[in-house]
Structure 1
Amino acid sequence: MVEDDRQALFLTWLDEHGSSVVKVARAYTLTGDECQDLAQEILLQAWRSAPSFAGKATAATWFYRVALHTAMNWKRKDGPRRTRQQPLLDVQVVPADGACSTEQVQQRETVEQLYRAIHQLPKADAALVLLYLDELSYREMADVLGISESNVGVKLNRAKKALSALMNGESHGP
């Protein structure tokens, strides 16, 4: 693949599927800095892998697969090192628009609670929930994860129950 074609294809994919990178990164990290680091790592892996895209799956499926595999490997490899690190400064982000409505605050808290709950799920369940939240079909989820559609249904049902329990403050066992 010619470099200009590769760059154009990558930028198109980024425009169309960039939100999935952020969702995956956010689900596999605890802090904003980690999320940014993981998102950069996902994009780097997607860039490196672009020449091997064979068109056997849709670009969305391929991009998601790269994002999920990178996130799972990043968490396993980079997690232990990051738990020993301490930030130099504890920076608080102040909203740019000043005051937020009560509804916006509640919605943000619910989203944060959802991501904390997803983070507690086993890696495969977290990946499945992210695909579900992105409204992929069972066929697309099966393609991304390399499992059958019926297996997607069974695993998704279990993951939803575990996620619901976590959202309601119940502990989640293995």
Structure 2
Amino acid sequence: MDEIDHKSLFLKWLDEHGSAVIKVARAYTLTSDDCQDLAQEILLQAWKSLPSFEQKATAATWFYRVALHTAMNWQRKDKPRRSGQKPLLEVHTLASDGTDSAEQAQHKDTVERLYEAIHQLPEGDAALVLLYLDELSYREMSEVLGISESNVGVKLNRAKKSLSALMNGRD
């Protein structure tokens, strides 16, 4: 693949699957600055990895795989610095489209609690929950995570129970 094809393919995939980058970065960071840093690192890794893309997976699966692996590695390396930080979750709400502000505030609170709970899950479970929230099939999740579809089901059920307990304030 030459440089021009590489660039146009990357930009096309970024347009189609870029939201996955932000979702993953947000789930693995505590502050908006860190989220932006991690998103940039994910995009850099995706750009570097594109020449080795072998078309054994879909573009969405490949993008998620790069994003999740980069985020997990980044989180491990960055853990000492982040240990003293407090979560600062920014939820970007769309311009009011007729929904009342009480409903928007409740939605924002729910999303913030969801991300706080996802931060508390083990990294593999957090990755699985993100893929589930993005409505990937079990097959797609198994390809991204490199586990069997039946293992996806077992791990996802366990992660959902943990997430539910965290969301409801139980440990």
User: TM-score of the superposition, structure 1-length normalised?
Assistant: 0.88
Q: Which residue of 1 aligns with 2:74?
A: 74
| Residue identity in the other structure for 1:104 | Q
State the match for 1:8 in structure 2: 8
Residue of structure 1 in register with 2:165 after alignment: 165
Specify the code of the residue in structure 2 equivalent to 1:135. E
The answer to whether structure 1 residue 153 and structure 2 residue 130 are counterparts is: no
Would the aligned equivalents of 2:30 and 2:85 in 1 still touch at CA under 8 Å?
Answer: no
> How far apart are the structure 2 equivalents of 1:97 and 1:161?
33
Q: Which portions of structure 1, spanning 4 or more consecutive aligned residues, are displaced by more than 4 angstroms?
A: 95-98
Identify the residue that residue 108 of structure 1 maps to in structure 2. Answer: 108
2:29 equivalent to 1:29: yes
Among all aligned residue pairs of Structure 1 and Structure 2, give the percentage whose two residues are the same amino acid. Answer: 76
* Alpha-carbon distance in 2 for matches of 1:138, 1:29: 25
* Shift of residue 64, structure 1, vs aligned partner: 0.2
Amino acid at match of 1:42: I
Q: For 1:26-84, what per-residue CA distance to the aligned partner results, in whole angstroms no more than 9, with x for missing partners?
A: 10011111111110100000001010101000010000000000000000012213446
Equivalent residue number for residue 64 of structure 1: 64
What is aligned with 2:18? 18
Q: How far apart are the structure 2 equivalents of 1:96 and 1:160?
A: 27
* Corresponding residue of 2:142: 142
- TM-score computed with the length of structure 2 as normaliser: 0.90
- Distance (whole Å) between structure 1 residues aligned to residue 120 and residue 83 of structure 2: 16
Give the drift of 1:2.
1.1
- Whole-angstrom CA distance in 2 between matches of 1:127 and 1:141: 9
Partner of residue 52, structure 1: 52
Unaligned runs of at least 5 residues, structure 2: none
Q: How many correspondences in the alignment? A: 165
Q: Deviations over 1:110-155 (max 9, x none)?
A: 0011001001000000000000000000000000000000000000
Q: Give me the CA root mean square deviation.
A: 2.3
Q: Specify whether residues 8 and 118 from structure 1 end up closer, same or farther in structure 2 by C-alpha distance, changes over 3 A only.
A: same
Q: Identify the residue that residue 40 of structure 1 maps to in structure 2.
A: 40
Decide whether aligned partners of structure 1 residues 55 and 41 sit closer, same or farther in structure 2, where only a CA change above 3 A counts. same
